[in-house]
Amino acid sequence: MVSDSLTRDRIPDNLLQAKRVASAQYLSRIEPSGLISASAASTRPEHNVVGVGVGYKIAGGVLTSQRAVRIYVERKMPRGSVPEQYLIPDAFAGVPTDVVETGRFRALPAATPKEQARILPVQPLIDRLPVHRC
């Protein structure tokens, strides 16, 4: 198990720099090509990468103590089915990468304003029940 946590103020500079490099490469704005449908799987990272973060690497389903740049993808594909030029590198700026399948992120509906979200108190029923006296 990992003993130290990666809070914002404790992330090493080399890890932040590697995240910046990966973010610039995979999260930059691109023009939609119209060639990929919403349901088609693409091996191109610019179509599949949905986020970049930092954390601990997971290897074989086990959390390790190795810090990594985490590349979040809509669908993780077998390494052999991805053309070489589209593979996510094993490291950015000397920091290992970890590819994590997350699916597509979707925005949640906006929160209801407080004045519209009034919750009425429960009305007691005891005073509405008929009373039978013996």
Reported as a pLDDT band with limits 50, 70 and 90, residue 126 is low
Region label for 60, one of left (φ > 0), alpha (ψ between -120 and 50) or beta (otherwise): left
Q: Which residue has the higher pLDDT, 46 or 16?
A: 16
How far is residue 48 from each of residues 6, 26, 30, 64, measured CA to CA in Å?
Answer: 26, 9, 12, 25
> What is the distance between the alpha carbons of residues 129 and 61, in angstroms, rounded to a whole number?
58
Mind listing the pLDDT tens digit for each residue in 45-78? Answer: 667 888 999 999 999 889 999 999 999 999 888 8
The answer on pLDDT for 34 being more than 80 is no
* Average confidence score pLDDT of the chain: 78
Q: What is the pLDDT of residue 53?
A: 93
Q: Which residue has the higher pLDDT, 133 or 38?
A: 133
> What is the distance between the alpha carbons of residues 43 and 65, in angstroms, rounded to a whole number?
29
Which of 93, 103, 108 has its CA nearest to residue 12?
93
